[in-house]
């Protein structure tokens, strides 16, 4: 069996795991991302992490055939480089990820592949997670930010400039306060992320008259559980914006299934129910019964998805990770799987 190391390189931590050809995570390790130290330092630390897993794999008689990386930032998946990145990782833009790691690890550069971390997450869910056995899936993640990926026949839609999936950055009618668009972290205003991310819900709570010293979004949900009206309104606005945005994307892309991920997806019915109501209110009749499900792989999704890039590269004609099996129509049941 072929084995690949999948890497999830984020702004605060970098995880890596040995993935089998069947999509199983055999073992993992995690290190802090050196997000203030620049690209070369991050590559050095990541290469050391991968090397430690290769040694462990070799000790069990398992040979590693390649490395797949899901990374924060806009990633040129053809050249394995970082086109742009936020200040969450200083000096990351311009880093040659695949060439840098291949050289440090003495691996064939053709078998070291990189993609944006949200695309990697979606690929993992499409292969072994909530979207397994589907031909197309739309995954949208709501957490610190809002991101997404449309996977069609095992391939993510990357776009001409590799910015495909930035679903938090189009206009939302929810993203206004007192008639003015709410600033977004991207530098523009009135975007989905400005009102639908986790931090945005906290800011909405404050704008609506809540306590200015509330520490985080979790505290907003705790207040909402005690029926605090301002907290419930802030969550409702964020959930409504999220659902409306997803519904519009479904009308445009017509995926087989929608997968919702991120911290807000795990926050319970107080967010999920208004999100799904707003989503379904947007849908055209032919897609009205589309399944809307929670992501199922958790932190392993990006590792599995990143590894799938290499499995597909190694055996593009014979790989079975995205083989579709015949199944009954589960639309109405899975659509209400909350």
What CATH number does residue 78 fall under?
3.30.420.40
High-pLDDT (> 90) share of the chain, %: 92
Residue 334 in domain: no
Mean pLDDT of 235-246: 98
Distance CA 177, CA 200 (A): 13
Distance CA 7, CA 293 (A): 25
Residue 318 has pLDDT above 70, yes or no: no
H or E stretch at 302: helix 300-314
Range 81-87 contact pairs with CB under 8 angstroms and sequence separation of 24 or more: 82/39, 83/161, 83/162, 86/11, 86/185
Distance CA 273, CA 166 (A): 24
Residue 305 in domain: yes
Shared domain for 174 and 101, answered yes or no, is no
List, in sequence order, every residue forming a beta bridge with 15; answer none if it has no partner.
Answer: 8, 30
Shared domain for 286 and 304, answered yes or no, is no
* 222 contacts: CB under 8 Å, gap ≥ 6: none
Counting beta carbons within 10 angstroms of the beta carbon of residue 160, is it exposed (0 to 12), middle (13 to 18) or buried (19 or more)? Answer: exposed
Mean pLDDT is lowest, of 137-141, 221-225, 321-325, for 321-325
Shared domain for 95 and 156, answered yes or no, is no
Alpha-carbon 216 to chain mean position:
21
Shared domain for 47 and 151, answered yes or no, is no
Pairing of strands 74-76, 81-84: antiparallel
Mean pLDDT of 51-78: 97
Shared domain for 216 and 150, answered yes or no, is yes
What was the pLDDT predicted at 332? 32
Distance CA 75, CA 309 (A): 14
Residue 334 has pLDDT above 90, yes or no: no
316 against 145, higher pLDDT: 145
Distance CA 134, CA 257 (A): 8
Both ends of the chain: CA-CA distance in Å? 36
What was the pLDDT predicted at 217? 97
Q: What would the two tokens of residue 172 be?
A: 């939302």
Residue 91 in domain: yes
Distance CA 146, CA 195 (A): 10
What was the pLDDT predicted at 316? 59
What was the pLDDT predicted at 323? 45
Mean pLDDT of 72-76: 97
Write out the residue range of the structural domain in which residue 199 sits.
133-295
Distance CA 145, CA 307 (A): 24
Residue 200 has pLDDT above 50, yes or no: yes
Distance CA 183, CA 205 (A): 15
Residue 336 has pLDDT above 60, yes or no: no
Distance CA 115, CA 334 (A): 29
List, in sequence order, every residue forming a beta bridge with 293; answer none if it has no partner.
Answer: 259
Domains: count for the chain: 2
Shared domain for 105 and 178, answered yes or no, is no
Counting beta carbons within 10 angstroms of the beta carbon of residue 109, is it exposed (0 to 12), middle (13 to 18) or buried (19 or more)? Answer: middle
In the block, residue with structure tokens 């979790």: 218
* 94 contacts: CB under 8 Å, gap ≥ 6: 39, 81, 82
Q: pLDDT confidence of 1, banded at 50, 70, 90?
A: confident
């Amino acid at each position: 069996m072929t084995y690949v190391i999948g890497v999830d390189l984020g702004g605060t931590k970098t995880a890596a795991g040995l993935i089998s050809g069947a999509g199983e995570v055999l073992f993992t390790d995690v290190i802090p991302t050196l997000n203030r130290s620049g690209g070369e330092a991050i590559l050095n630390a990541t290469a050391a992490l991968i090397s430690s897993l290769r040694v462990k794999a070799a000790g069990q008689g398992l040979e590693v055939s390649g490395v797949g990386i899901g990374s924060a930032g806009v990633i040129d998946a053809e050249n394995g480089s970082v086109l742009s990145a936020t200040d969450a990782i200083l000096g990351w833009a311009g880093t040659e990820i695949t060439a840098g790691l291949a050289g440090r690890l003495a691996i064939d550069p053709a078998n070291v592949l990189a993609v944006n971390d949200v695309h990697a997450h979606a690929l993992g869910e499409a292969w072994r997670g909530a979207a397994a056995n589907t031909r197309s899936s739309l995954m949208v993640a709501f957490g610190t930010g809002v991101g997404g990926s449309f996977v069609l026949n095992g391939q993510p839609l990357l776009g001409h400039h590799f910015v495909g999936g930035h679903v938090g950055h189009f206009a939302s009618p929810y993203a206004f306060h007192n008639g003015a668009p709410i600033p977004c972290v991207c530098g523009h205003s009135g975007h989905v992320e400005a009102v639908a991310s986790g931090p945005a819900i906290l800011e909405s709570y404050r704008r609506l008259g809540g306590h200015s010293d509330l520490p985080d979004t979790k505290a907003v949900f705790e207040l909402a559980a005690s029926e605090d009206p301002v907290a419930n309104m802030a969550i409702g606005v964020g959930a409504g914006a999220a659902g409306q945005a997803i519904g519009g994307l479904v009308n445009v892309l017509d995926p087989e299934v929608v997968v919702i991920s991120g911290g807000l997806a795990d926050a319970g019915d107080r967010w999920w129910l208004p999100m799904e109501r707003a989503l379904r209110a947007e849908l055209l009749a032919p897609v009205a019964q589309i399944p809307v499900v929670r992501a199922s792989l958790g932190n392993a999704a990006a590792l599995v998805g990143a590894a799938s890039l290499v499995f597909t590269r190694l055996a593009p004609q014979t790989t079975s990770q995205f083989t579709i099996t015949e199944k009954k129509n589960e639309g109405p049941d899975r659509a209400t799987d909350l």
